[in-house]
Amino acid sequence: DLVQKQGQSWAASRSFALEGVLTYAPIAEWLRSPAVRPSLDAFDDLWRIELARLLPELLRNRPELPAPEVMTEDWQQQRFFQAIVQAIQAAPTPLFLHLDDMQWTEPETLALLQFLLHGVRKHPLLLVGGIRTEDAVVNRALAAFIAATHHANQLRELYLGPLSVEEVETLAAQTAGEAITPEQASTLYTASEGHPLYLIEVVRSGFTEAHATPETEEQNGSKRIGVPSIPARIRKLLSARLDQLSPSTRDIANMAAVVGRTFSYTILQAAVTHDEMALVDALDELLQQRIIREQGSDS
């Protein structure tokens, strides 16, 4: 929104965790954006044919041009990559490109992005990628891309922590389209622990309507708004992440959930049937996947 308000050129896309997704799909979406697409009509025939691999409509009004050849040689891929560089450089500058969920970007697109960043080193271009690090650990091509951009001094990493109570209130109000009370904001913060996706899904599930005039419950002599249940989409995402764990780690995670929202190493060790090494390995895997987080010396 800030880029748009400033009148800068921008294009946005995202990757998806789906098999059979079209290779270079995020690049194609950038090329079709209002910031890039208009300049392609004036392209030389050579580059137009190459770009038609992703945008077949470029040849719709040029029937005399041949269809792009199947890429079987390295030089053909390099020419195709160079066509993408030409397309990006032809867009109004400065240009802002956004690619969300890069943890699911396939190797071919990452290779093209690396070529693009090298080809436009002197061009006013900003590429911003969003990555969920817990899902990125299995994407070796992404790790190589990050290492290469680090080496080329083209990368700046920003780690986003949990939202504060004030930020939760702001995001919840924006999502709901109406103001929320401080009590609702506090409950949402407790339920989501500042996780933006969880927060948005809770609000979209009708939290503000369901809890605008809630039934209250007694707890420690005081009344509070009941914490909302986990939205269906979040349940599916959690199930998908748990399915990626090794069998022993999944068993230990299930036992930890039975113990409660917080658990100590000592209690979990007494509850599981796995040996200590398996338990340590499982906890390490759960930490890497950000399914759990360490809060103290024994929890």
Q: Would you kindly state where each structural domain of the chain is located, as residue ranges? A: 2-151, 165-225, 244-288
Under DSSP, the state recorded for 103 is G
**What does 32-78 look like in DSSP terms, one character per residue?**
TSTTTGGGGGG--HHHHHHHTTT-GGGGTT-TTSPPPPP--SHHHHH
Pairing state between β 95-100 and 125-129: parallel
The 10s digit of each residue's pLDDT in 52-100 is 999 999 999 999 999 999 999 999 999 999 999 999 999 998 999 999 9
The neighbouring-strand residues paired with 223 are 218
Q: Which residue has the higher pLDDT, 285 or 234?
A: 285
The 10s digit of each residue's pLDDT in 72-81 is 999 999 999 9
The 10s digit of each residue's pLDDT in 159-177 is 888 999 999 999 999 999 9
CB 191 within 8 A of CB 202: yes
pLDDT-based confidence at residue 236 (cuts at 50, 70, 90) = confident
pLDDT-based confidence at residue 212 (cuts at 50, 70, 90) = very low
Mean pLDDT of 122-138: 86
CA distance 42 to 30: 17
